[in-house]
Amino acid sequence: METNTILLLIISVLIAAGLAFFQYIYKAKNKSNLNLFLAFLRFITFLGLFILIINPTVTRNTFKTVKTPLVIVMDNSSSIPFLNANKEALASYQKLVNHPALQEKFEIQSYQLDSDLQLSNSFNFKGKQTNLEAAARLLQKNYKNKSFPTVLLTDGNQTNGNEYEFSFDPLNKVFPIVLGDTTKVTDLKITQVNVNKYAFYKNQFPVEIFATYSGKEAITANFKIFQGKSILVNQIISFSPQKKTAVVQVVLPANKIGLQLYKAQIIASKKEKNPFNNTSSFAVEVMDQKTEIALLSAINHPDIGALKRAIESNVQRKVTVIKPQYINELKKYKLVIFYQPNKHFNTAFETTKQAGLNSFIITGTSTDYSFLNQQQSDVVFKMSNQMEDYFANFNSEFTLFSSENIGFESFPPLQNSFGTINAKGNSSVLLSSKIRGIDTESPMLVFSENQGKRAAYLFGENSWKWRSHYFIENQNFEKYDTFIDKIIQYLSTNSVKQSLVVEHQLVYNLGDPIEISAYYLNKNFEFDEKARFEISIVNTTSKMNRKYDFSRASNSFKVNLESLPAGKYNFIVTELNSKERFSNTLEILDFDVEKQFVNPDELRLQQLANYTKGNLFYPDKTDQLIQKLLAESEYQPIQKDVVIKSPLIEWVSLLIFLLFILSLEWFVRKYNGLL
């Protein structure tokens, strides 16, 4: 206790004693024992009040035993009962959590794992996905800077996420318990189907199917592709212990417009343990036309090739690169892209205006801004001859179409002339610009609409580096190309604004997230944050009808329908305030990814154990695992000195005691006629 507090307490004792003496002894006519008793009670009252005012802090030292966490993760996916391993999994789990010595040494914490990781001590083995990499990531987050062992009861077959063998913390040992029969059996499996999402009417489209074989003898298999009840492909494939893979490449006709469903099937000449992985369904949307886009450029630049590849990743698009001085007519094009326009683009701009086409203008270090100011009225440029690097900043309030921040802030800078750029009129900014981390309050990617014509402006060259950077970070171009595709989709359609916009896929696999997003624009075509959405979805075969409410996301509303069974569905999205509606169909394919395995992935689990310096076990060796955990000397309970500081004013007992003293004094005075 501090010296100042001790001095204040001493002074409080003296003042309380002085006040009690003055009230009951000094002023008293008869100095009886009653007066002395009342003076004592008043002294206690004054002293207690003074102590509460001073509010000293009482410090207590206690010792607390901290046990090392023992994390037990149970694979709760449906592949466990499919491999007939659920009973042995539960038996091993019960042995671990109920072992007295483990309970004494560790703080046992159990989780269930499927598409994510959750605290749980009960398991139903109905999960539709297995994401071991997510478990590794969450465990590192939840037990940061802690040393602890992990027991992982799983078959090791991951259906979602990145490679997990090296995702766990190498400083924390992992002890996998392999669930399922490791005996190799004869099995044929369709591992992958490569096909474009779109095809064009009366054309043909390629399909590539990969099949694998597990077995000890040579066999033949019948491979077929069905559309409904019609057999489109029928051929024989041979496998052997030396030839374990086969690639089937076929070309199918696109004779019907709309969503077309197909089923690839491979049937072995002998009975298999798992027939579920012999079939894989896929879908192709057959389109009756292609969007033609003209890309005009007077210079050669890597941006042109990158932009063309990104746009044509959607097979509905075709980009034709043209020199501006050779432009004749643009009637067949839906959109014109002007790359770094200068005075040579004069005829192209006039032709575009006469044809009533939308435009996408990309500027850079070779752009003639004086010429560009004359050709359009959406943006005013005041640029210098100095070059500058501009970084992107994503606008989450953008509402012209659904957009996602794919990491724009980490993208390399675009190069453009230094100056001021002011967007006028009805414009919407998707990306703004920064220079060396400072917001310029100028747009980088802006959309404008004027007299029914849409235009987009990207200020800066070297966007090819954006596409390359995204690939380096994600090993694919998917979301970047989707970002470009949404820009092209917006610019290649007419400018009739829709209040209710709904985005969804036409086909989903059973068990995959089935997400539908929607947003509503008010009368000023601004994003309505108070909108309320409901979806009514009906199975076209069983007539099962369900309704769901949407929840708010960053710049839209979303609903997840992953609990729906396989089948074809009609759905209606309704904005409840305005009663506006959107209707369409979707298909959920009967593909259970958890039933694609016949054996546990023992090899990858062994790699995980080796990487973390743990050990691999099987359910019948659970007792050995328990002894191993008990013998680990690094996991010992730690006794910590805990200092508890509590202000005296928080002592409820002291307040009750003061009330009792005051009540007792009042009662004594009343009884003796002193009131």
Cβ atoms within 10 Å of 256's Cβ, excluding its own: 10
* pLDDT number for residue 622: 94
* pLDDT number for residue 402: 78
* pLDDT number for residue 458: 95
* pLDDT number for residue 30: 65
* pLDDT number for residue 25: 74
As a whole number, mean pLDDT of residues 24-39 equals: 73
* pLDDT number for residue 581: 92
Three-class secondary structure of residue 437 per DSSP = coil
Instruction: Give the CA distances from residue 559 to residues 399, 400, 564, in Å, rounded to whole numbers and listed in that order.
Output: 18, 20, 12
Q: Is the dihedral of CA 254, 255, 256, 260 positive or negative?
A: negative
Assess whether pLDDT exceeds 60 at residue 12: yes
Angstrom distance (rounded) from CA 293 to CA 537: 37
* pLDDT number for residue 504: 86
Ordered alpha helix ranges (H), 123-210: 132-142
Q: Rounded mean pLDDT of the chain?
A: 87
Instruction: Give the CA distances from residue 15 to residues 43, 146, 416, in Å, rounded to whole numbers and listed in that order.
Output: 9, 54, 79
Using CB atoms within 10 A of its CB, is residue 611 exposed (0-12), middle (13-18) or buried (19+)?
A: middle
pLDDT tens string 85-115: 999 999 999 999 999 999 999 999 999 999 8
pLDDT tens string 344-363: 899 899 888 888 889 999 99
Name 503's Cβ contacts closer than 8 Å, sequence gap at least 6: 402, 516, 517, 518
Angstrom distance (rounded) from CA 471 to CA 306: 12
Assess whether pLDDT exceeds 60 at residue 533: yes
* pLDDT number for residue 524: 64
Angstrom distance (rounded) from CA 154 to CA 176: 7
As a whole number, mean pLDDT of residues 311-331 equals: 85
DSSP characters over 86-135 = HHHHHHHHHHHHT-HHHHHHEEEEEEEESSSEEE-S-----BS---HHHH
Q: Alpha carbon 574 to chain centroid distance? A: 26
pLDDT tens string 161-202: 888 999 999 999 999 999 988 877 778 889 889 998 888 887
pLDDT greater at residue 24 or residue 360: 360
Confidence band of 32 (pLDDT split at 50, 70, 90): confident
As a whole number, mean pLDDT of residues 53-63 equals: 74
Name the E strands within 312-357: 317-322, 335-339
* pLDDT number for residue 666: 83
Q: Provide, rounded to the nearest whole percent, the portion of the chain with pLDDT above 90.
A: 45
Reduced 3-state DSSP string for 377-409: CCEEEEEEEEEEEEEEEECCCCCCCCCCCCCHH
pLDDT tens string 612-671: 999 999 999 999 999 999 998 888 877 676 677 777 777 777 788 888 888 887 887 777
Q: Which two tokens stand for residue 76?
A: 């709760």
Assess whether pLDDT exceeds 80 at residue 24: no
Three-class secondary structure of residue 255 per DSSP = coil
* pLDDT number for residue 641: 67
Angstrom distance (rounded) from CA 458 to CA 164: 39
Phi, psi of 474 (to 5 degrees): -125, -5
Phi, psi of 504 (to 5 degrees): -160, 165
Q: Which of 37-51, 357-371, 392-406, 491-505 has the highest mean pLDDT?
A: 357-371
Q: Which of 349-353, 410-414, 527-531, 665-669 has the highest mean pLDDT?
A: 410-414
pLDDT tens string 539-558: 999 999 999 999 988 778 99
* pLDDT number for residue 499: 82
Q: Nearest-5° angle of CA 435, CA 440, CA 442?
A: 120
Angstrom distance (rounded) from CA 292 to CA 473: 31
Angstrom distance (rounded) from CA 44 to CA 146: 51
Confidence band of 310 (pLDDT split at 50, 70, 90): very high
Name the E strands within 409-532: 414-423, 427-435, 438-450, 453-459, 500-503, 507-509, 515-520
* pLDDT number for residue 539: 93
Match 């309030």 to its residue by tokens. 397
Angstrom distance (rounded) from CA 405 to CA 398: 11
Are the beta carbons of 430 and 445 closer than 8 angstroms? Answer: yes
Q: Which of 70-74, 493-497, 651-655 has the highest mean pLDDT?
A: 70-74
Comparing C-alpha atoms, which of 210, 208, 211 is closest to residue 189?
211
Are the beta carbons of 241 and 264 closer than 8 angstroms? Answer: no
Angstrom distance (rounded) from CA 629 to CA 97: 13
Q: Alpha carbon 225 to chain centroid distance? A: 35
pLDDT tens string 251-262: 999 988 888 889
Instruction: Give the CA distances from residue 143 to residues 68, 608, 636, 637, in Å, rounded to whole numbers and listed in that order.
Output: 11, 19, 17, 16
Assess whether pLDDT exceeds 60 at residue 495: no
As a whole number, mean pLDDT of residues 138-147 equals: 90
Are the beta carbons of 523 and 547 closer than 8 angstroms? Answer: no
Are the beta carbons of 33 and 667 closer than 8 angstroms? Answer: no
Q: What is the DSSP letter of 22?
A: I
* pLDDT number for residue 182: 80
Instruction: Give the CA distances from residue 196 to residues 193, 201, 318, in Å, rounded to whole numbers and listed in that order.
Output: 10, 14, 15
Angstrom distance (rounded) from CA 128 to CA 566: 13
Name 469's Cβ contacts closer than 8 Å, sequence gap at least 6: 410, 411, 412
Are the beta carbons of 426 and 457 closer than 8 angstroms? Answer: no
As a whole number, mean pLDDT of residues 49-68 equals: 77
Comparing C-alpha atoms, which of 428, 433, 397 is closest to residue 417?
433
Angstrom distance (rounded) from CA 588 to CA 561: 10
Q: Which two tokens stand for residue 6?
A: 């001790």
Using CB atoms within 10 A of its CB, is residue 339 exposed (0-12), middle (13-18) or buried (19+)?
A: buried
As a whole number, mean pLDDT of residues 456-480 equals: 93
Angstrom distance (rounded) from CA 24 to CA 35: 6
